[in-house]
Amino acid sequence: MNKASEPPAGADGLLPIRITELADLSTTEMAALRGLADRFATHARHAIIRQEGEMPPGLFFLLEGWAVSSVTLADGSRQLLKLHVPGDLMGAPSLPLSRAAETLIALTDVSVAQVSLEALGEIFVQHPRLGALFFLSAQEERVLLMDRLTGMGRLDARHRIAWLFVHLHERLRLVASGMGAAFDLPLTQEQLGDLLGLTAVHVNRTLRSLDAEGYLKRERGHIEILRYDDLKRLAALPPRTVRRNLSWLPPSRPSRPGR
């Protein structure tokens, strides 16, 4: 691990996290979010950013690169839980636990900021609206997990893969607008299997069949969706749309109020 106390150039604009997707923020709130980032670090591909079992569990902010969170079982098998892209908060689920539940692994070279928990606590005091947005953001993640659970329980390999690609495409579009039908996917087929509850062999067979039927094209670490609408039809989960600036949210606070 390579540590540096200065943020990497150009990453600054990313700090407002996913939360900006839920509401418009005041400049003060933006500044408070930026204040969350504590120590900056970079990790090489395949490096472990945070190991499950670690205590106390820390909180991380992904600035550049891809990462993944996973759980490992006693028999050595593992489940990949979520792919993290720049702007993602990582490790939050373990915050209430005494030991971290998930391992965070760098899929590419990444740069990461450690989030100060004291600063997070202060945000709930100084910026109730941000606190509520953090709460809502966690609920959004719950919906995602619920949908993934539904997929694992009720969809076969073909449908799960279709859903994953459509979902990833939509998620990446939010980050990189103007993206076409193609995107990077720095995952091996074994990792795809661990993500979808399949074996690498079966992932290969299914990918190959989707390719043969013209749904998509594959290269190393790169996917191009050819028949987007058909693929989306395969991805049979209900659509989700977030509602911005909910009326019951607390108002933005100007700056530091009564202390």
- Given the rule CB under 7 A, which residues bind DNA? 156-158, 188-190, 193, 197-202, 204-208, 218, 220
* Residues paired with residue 3 on neighbouring β-strands, in sequence order: 41
> Least distance from C-beta 43 to its own copies, angstroms?
22
214 binds, among DNA, its own copies, none (CB under 5 to 8 A by kind): none
- Say how many residues make up the chain: 259
Residues 6+ apart with CB under 8 A from 153: none
Nearer CB in complex with DNA: 59/203: 203
The two tokens of residue 158 are 């073909």
> Least distance from C-beta 208 to DNA, angstroms?
5
> Least distance from C-beta 114 to DNA, angstroms?
27
Instruction: Please give the Cα distance from 258 to 37 (Å, whole number).
Output: 24
Residue reference for tokens 């945070």: 50
**Side-chain-side CA neighbours of residue 232 (13 Å):** 11
> Least distance from C-beta 124 to its own copies, angstroms?
4
> Least distance from C-beta 158 to DNA, angstroms?
6
Nearer CB in complex with its own copies: 208/240: 240
Residues 6+ apart with CB under 8 A from 67: 49, 83, 84, 88, 90, 104, 105, 106, 107, 110, 112
Residue reference for tokens 């977030």: 242
150 binds, among its own copies, DNA, none (CB under 5 to 8 A by kind): its own copies
Residues 6+ apart with CB under 8 A from 168: 83, 183, 185
204 binds, among its own copies, DNA, none (CB under 5 to 8 A by kind): DNA
48 binds, among its own copies, DNA, none (CB under 5 to 8 A by kind): none
Three-class DSSP category at 43: strand
Instruction: Please give the Cα distance from 259 to 254 (Å, whole number).
Output: 14
Residues that bind its own copies (CB under 8 A): 22, 52-53, 56, 71-75, 77-79, 81, 92-99, 101-102, 117-118, 120-122, 124-125, 128-129, 131-132, 134-143, 145-150, 152-154, 194, 196-197, 236-238, 240-243, 246, 248-250, 257-258
220 binds, among its own copies, DNA, none (CB under 5 to 8 A by kind): DNA
248 binds, among its own copies, DNA, none (CB under 5 to 8 A by kind): its own copies
> Least distance from C-beta 49 to its own copies, angstroms?
17
95 binds, among its own copies, DNA, none (CB under 5 to 8 A by kind): its own copies
Burial code (b: 16+ CB inside 10 Å, e: under 16) for 203-223 equals: beebbeebeeeebbeeeeeeb
Residue reference for tokens 């039908």: 181
> Least distance from C-beta 126 to its own copies, angstroms?
8
